[in-house]
Copies of this chain bind each other. A is one copy, B any other.
Amino acid sequence: MNAQTCIRKLRYVCSTSMGTVDAHGNPQVRIINIMHVEPEKGEIYFVTARGKNFYRELQNGKEVAITALTRYQEMIRVNGIPERVPDTRQKKWLDRIFEENQIMNNVYPGNSRYVLEVFCVKKAVIEYFNLGVHPIFRERYTIGEEAKRGGGFMVTEACIGCGKCLQACPQGCILEKIPVEIKEENCLHCGLCSEVCPVQAIKRIEEE
């Protein structure tokens, strides 16, 4: 799995959710269509209308969170800052998007399409998360300049190798050695290993 394949898959799911933060600091989630992707360039395009709260939320300097579930139970998450496509290229992109997404003509017929504006995510952290395999499988990638962020749990030298975490782990993703090793790509981040450790050797990695 890689970032390019994740981006390509965004065009082949029936629904994609996009989260924003509203003027009150509360989350908003909408189901939107990803209108166009450029997997090799790492670009994800979508549109909204100037009258909507969504339009305002896209320009508040916060990230957007895009999450899609494929038919194979793979979850794809993209978190990054949206950029409004420059004025000079708005019309070209809108016309191209309406050509590629004919259903849009039902909702915005004729010239009413130009109340829409095109946005693009180019810098983002992408997470691929597959709950349909055992053990579960997850990986993180980046597009643009955004740095990878951490998550999950780490084992310190305090580990005494007692094996309590191995028995507790619901996914069997801890390797028996001293200190034990958590297989990051199979970890649910549930935290049970850390809770059962008698010497507090397993620490939560705070989000960057």
Q: Which residues of A does B touch, CB under 8 Å?
A: 14-15, 17-31, 49-53, 62-67, 69, 75, 77, 79, 106-110, 112, 115-116, 131, 134, 136, 151, 153, 168-171, 188-192, 194-195, 204, 207
User: In the complex where A170-B108, A170-B109, A190-B108 touch, is A29 in contact with B50 (Cβ < 8 A)?
Assistant: no
Besides A27-B65, A51-B153, 4 other CB < 8 A contacts?
A21-B21, A23-B207, A25-B62, A51-B204
Asked whether B69 lies within 8 Å of A15 as measured between CB atoms, the reply is yes
CA distance A17 to B68 in the complex (A): 9
* 9 cross-chain CB contacts under 8 A: A17-B31, A26-B62, A27-B65, A27-B79, A29-B67, A31-B75, A51-B189, A52-B189, A112-B170
Q: Which residue of B lies closest to A15 (CB)?
A: B69
Asked whether A28 lies within 8 Å of B23 as measured between CB atoms, the reply is no
Contacts of A188 in B (CB 8 A): 49, 51, 107
Asked whether A192 lies within 8 Å of B112 as measured between CB atoms, the reply is yes
Contacts of A189 in B (CB 8 A): 49, 51-53
**What is the interface of chain A mostly: helix, strand, loop, or mixed?**
mixed
How many copies of this chain sit in the oligomeric assembly? 2
Contacts of A107 in B (CB 8 A): 131, 136, 170-171, 188
Contacts of A51 in B (CB 8 A): 153, 188-192, 194-195, 204
CB distance from A80 to the nearest CB of B (A): 10
